[in-house]
Amino acid sequence: MALVLGPVLRHVSATSALVWVQTEHAADVEILGCRARTFEVHGCHFALVVVDGLTPDSITPYEVAVDGTVQWPEPDTGFPPSVIRTRGPRSADRNRIVFGSCRFPRTDDPKLDAELGVDALDSYAARLAGLPHDQWPDALLLLGDQVYADELTPHARRNLTGRRSTGSTTTGSTGDRPEDEVVSFDEYAGLYRHTWGDPEIRWILSTVPTAMIFDDHDIRDDWNTSAAWREQINREPWWRERIRAGLVSYWVYQHIGNLTPATLAADPEYQAVIAADGDCWDQLVDLADRADTEVDGRKGLRFSFRWDLGRGRLIMVDSRNGRVFADGKRKMLSDNEFDWLDEQMHERPEDVDHLMIGSSLPWLLPPVLGDAETVNEIAAERPGIRGRIAENIRQAADLEHWQAFGHSFERLTSLIRDLADRSSPAPATITVLSGDVHHSYAARVDFPAPVQSAVYQLVCSPVHNKVPAYVKPMFIAGWSSWVARMTRRWARYRGAAALPMTWTKVNGPIFGNTIATLDLSGPSARAIFEQPDDDGELTTASDIALTKSTMPAPTTEAATG
């Protein structure tokens, strides 16, 4: 089979689409008369085909030919033909955005698969196959942990067997590598094939425009939690190979498809790769090193991006690799990345009814947990044993979300409040879409003075993963209003800044595998959370209208549940 993986439908506009594929060998790839030559990375072959000349508001079935032979669709799959649905004037004021995070692949281990439950994205794909095109989503947002490089299925572990018994690596020998984690680019490529090769997933990715951003497990648990974490991990003899392979594979499998054709045409790294004669691994290693390195308080490569979806705008923020720890300061985003975000939020606001900010990590946690992260950051900055204990707690308990980066949390909040407060024009809704925390919820934000926009945090996690039983009571208690009042006083006593707003849980916490939909029509918005039953049928766990509060924010500093 010449087509190893894909096609994956990525950015789609009114007249163009990007389609990503991986092939078995160097080849010419053709889709709807548009062609691209594969590029080579460490012996693997990829192409990103720019399909242009499409008609706005159209639905176009497509095939994928490799060296002149049709390789997609595969025969007798039971799924409808893959199509490209373009946007245009007729669809400008409506959007259906499906999102979620943390999808562990099917394991083929009956006991483990039973623990994981039914994959919500598999169920969504099965339902989608029976719906008319006008009920299909306009975009699928995968908000982190697309692959688990540090938590392997039995199948993935078997694929490593024998690979490390002989030979050498850039770290010295195969024995230097952890036994149950991927390290090399070849191993990452196998992991993506295993994770995206599920027939339901392969089909839905071929026919719904998909935007992606990574989180820690795409590289390693707790990735970039703190300066201390970076210092510790860089002492591991295999880490340099791991971070290079992880960032190169992310660039190839996920990042480049997030970009528009115009951005790709102006991108020097991408243009150098597709122009390369032979394997371009070395130049992508240089790209990965720049992406991982902090220079003058910023990272050397931007992974954040923007999609315009009619009168909706998605700004996906890299809240994982984009972190900087220069000069003893902790920032979720560098100053120039925040400047970029500000520009994207305020460019032609009259064209935007609904602004969506994608962040793999929630901006707003259950308030008790948010205050715990704030206090932990303050404690970890202390010298001596108290600071070291706080750092150990931070890494053990994953205290690394936006409120664990206090100044960045305040700056993001200020950007959102200022845009929501515009007298005219302000978006009808501003939503922050997130995952990571293995439970789902929606929270409405209220500022002391009324604002023009309805502001919400929407979290959907996991799509397919286990939720340890012991964490459920913690997440439930995290929304307790009376506990929140106590932790807020505790945080203020320890030196935390006053909160500039409150947030109120309007649904959840929802536990178990979940897929969410943001349904936008004119100025109206709804958030629907669905879960698969044992037969794989999706049922609604919550359906809420995203509306502004009619009351000012409470005078207390504590957020409410």
Can you give the three-state secondary structure of 101-139, one letter per residue?
CCECCCCCCHHHHHHHCCCHHHHHHHHHCCCCHHHCCCE
Predicted pLDDT of residue 298: 79
Tokens representing 407 are: 């100044």
Predicted pLDDT of residue 423: 66
Helix axes 367-380, 384-397, angle to 10 degrees: 140
Predicted pLDDT of residue 326: 82
Q: Is residue 267 part of a domain?
A: yes
SS (H, E, C) 283-338: HHHHHHHHHHCEECCEECCCCCEEEEECCEEEEEECCCCCCECHHHCCECCCHHHH
Predicted pLDDT of residue 78: 87
Tokens representing 277 are: 């004669």
> Phi, psi (5° rounding) for residue 506?
-110, -10
Both 149 and 180 in a single domain? Answer: yes
Q: What are the residue ranges in the chain where pLDDT is below 50?
A: 166-174, 556, 558
Q: Are strands 538-545 and 524-532 parallel, antiparallel or unpaired?
A: antiparallel
By CB neighbour count within 10 A (0-12 exposed, 13-18 middle, 19+ buried), where does 479 fall? Answer: buried
Among 70, 85, 100, identify where a domain stops: 85
The residue among 39, 34, 35, 29 whose CA lies nearest residue 64 is: 29
Among 28, 55, 85, identify where a domain stops: 85
Q: Is residue 558 part of a domain?
A: no
What type of residue is 210?
T
Q: Is residue 345 part of a domain?
A: yes
Provide the strand spans (E) within 468-557. Answer: 502-510, 515-521, 524-532, 538-545
Predicted pLDDT of residue 166: 42
Both 64 and 133 in a single domain? Answer: no
DSSP run (H or E) holding 277? none
Both 78 and 132 in a single domain? Answer: no
Predicted pLDDT of residue 196: 96
Among 60, 85, 110, identify where a domain stops: 85
Both 486 and 441 in a single domain? Answer: yes
Both 70 and 123 in a single domain? Answer: no
Q: What CATH number is associated with residue 393? A: 3.60.21.70
Both 185 and 268 in a single domain? Answer: yes
Both 34 and 157 in a single domain? Answer: no
Range of the domain at 22: 1-85
Both 118 and 206 in a single domain? Answer: yes
Total structural domains in the chain? 2
Q: Is residue 551 part of a domain?
A: no
- Token match 């390195």: residue? 293
Both 139 and 210 in a single domain? Answer: yes
> Phi, psi (5° rounding) for residue 411?
-70, -40
The DSSP secondary structure of 422-464, one letter per residue, reads: -SSS--SEEEEEE--SSSEEEEEEE-SS--SSEEEEEE---SB
DSSP 560: B
Predicted pLDDT of residue 559: 54
